[in-house]
């Protein structure tokens, strides 16, 4: 495997772990509200099937995922106190080792929200 593929694979793996830690931090009461709001926005965008720039547009379609998601994760992580973030990362690591399940409930909620938004837009224009 080339060095670039290995680096991209490592970035994706680390991003998944950070997203899991952000979700755990979002549920905690000792995390500031603004960090929770930003974290859930980043998680929602990362899990959302709809992007700001659609993936079918050459180069730009994937660049928004390669830039916006890591940038969002970086900002969200910087808003959470370091000691709390460390605990959340450890909890996310333990959860990923102990469970192989995917959170279908969160995915379904995000999908339903997008379907409602699309339906409202279509009703407005039709």
- Residue 56 maps to a domain: yes
- Residue 113 maps to a domain: no
- Residue 23 maps to a domain: yes
The total of structural domains in the chain comes to: 1
- Helix, strand, coil shares, percent, the chain, to 5: 80, 0, 20
Burial class (CB in 10 A: 0-12, 13-18, 19+), 52: exposed
Residue of 105, 89, 93, 7 whose CA lies nearest to 47: 105
Prediction pTM value: 0.68
Q: Scan for tokens 């050459």, then name that residue.
A: 58
- 42-46, 47-51, 96-100, 111-115: lowest mean pLDDT where? 96-100
Range of the structural domain that residue 96 is part of: 3-101
- Residue 28 maps to a domain: yes
Q: Scan for tokens 């997203």, then name that residue.
A: 19
pLDDT reading at 77 higher than 80 = yes
Q: What is the pLDDT of residues 25-55, one digit of tens each?
A: 999 999 999 999 999 999 988 887 777 777 7
Residue of 107, 92, 103 whose CA lies nearest to 49: 107
């Amino acid at each position: 495997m080339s060095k670039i593929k290995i680096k991209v694979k490592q970035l994706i793996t680390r991003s998944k772990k950070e997203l899991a830690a952000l979700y755990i931090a979002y549920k905690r009461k000792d995390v500031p509200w603004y960090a929770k709001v930003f974290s859930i926005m980043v998680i929602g965008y990362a899990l959302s099937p709809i992007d700001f720039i659609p993936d079918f547009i050459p180069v730009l379609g994937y660049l928004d995922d390669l830039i916006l998601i890591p940038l969002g994760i970086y900002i969200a992580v910087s808003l959470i106190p370091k000691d709390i973030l460390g605990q959340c990362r450890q909890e996310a690591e333990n959860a990923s080792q102990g469970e192989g399940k995917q959170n279908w409930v969160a995915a379904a909620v995000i999908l339903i929200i997008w379907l409602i938004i699309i339906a409202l837009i279509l009703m407005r224009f039709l």
